[in-house]
Amino acid sequence: MGYFSDLNIEYENDREQLSSNCQIDTANKNYEQSVQSKPVGQSNSIEATSDADKKTQAAEQNEEVKRKSHEEAEEKRKAEWEEQIKAKEEAEWEKAISVNNDILIEASVKRLGEDYERFTRRNMKQCVTEYVQTKCYEDLNFAKYVLHPRKNLINCFKYINRKAKSYLDEEMKINDEKPINGIYGGDVPDDLCYRWAEDYFLNMDIEEDKDKGEKIIISKPHLATSNQRAKKKAKQEKKSSKLNEVKVNEEQLTLFGGTI
């Protein structure tokens, strides 16, 4: 009995070992089949996505290069335009002052007189006009500045009025006074007005000289290509779609008490 029992035990062990090996072989075959079938598609998908990302990045980099090139070209065009305007003014000024001293002084005084005739109120304006005309006789260099294309007596008085308003505002603060019905009266010393008139003609960077109606060059915006605009729109729509999905999921979670 013992001998047959031992044979029986060995036989049973062999059967269990064979069954175990068969199961392992089956599992290995299933795994190999899954590896051969599933990851190939995933790998192709990953490679396709990677290629698409690379193309998108390349397109975006190309668009960025085009945008920078466009902006540089616009800056250059604007600088050239401003240089042309400046050169034109300089040429007009050079022509106006390239005469003998007597003609130069006569032209500057005449120009101031023509501007003065356009005014209707002539009290302080008359005094300032006479002052700058006299200054032209006394200072040849000042007479040259009067003939600059941007300079004129009209803007000179606009400048004086602006400076006078600031002067009176400061005086109100010092005296702790407030305007009555929005009006504050005060006196501005004559000498100060004359000094402002001189400052106006000698300063080439006065706000009143900037012609608001003058043709200016405006930089053109860089426009992306139609493909880039379409991709940008598609990306925005995809982002919006994802946000909507998140919103719907949140509503479902709330509705079902935290579980979908």
pLDDT in tens, 87-133: 888 888 888 888 889 889 998 988 888 777 666 556 788 889 999 99
pLDDT in tens, 176-212: 777 666 666 677 888 999 999 999 999 999 999 887 6
Q: In terms of pTM, does the model score above 0.85? A: no
DSSP the chain: -HHHHHHHHHHHHHHHHHHHHHHHHHHHHHHHHHHHHHHHHHHHHHHHHHHHHHHHHHHHHHHHHHHHHHHHHHHHHHHHHHHHHHHHHHHHHHHHHSS-HHHHHHHHHHHHHHHHTT-S--SHHHHHHHHHHHHHHH-HHHHHHHTSTT--HHHHHHHHHHHHHHHHHHHHHHHT---BTTB------HHHHHHHHHHHHH-S--GGGS-TTS----PPPPPPPHHHHHHHHHHHHHHHHHHHHHHHHHHHHHHTTT--
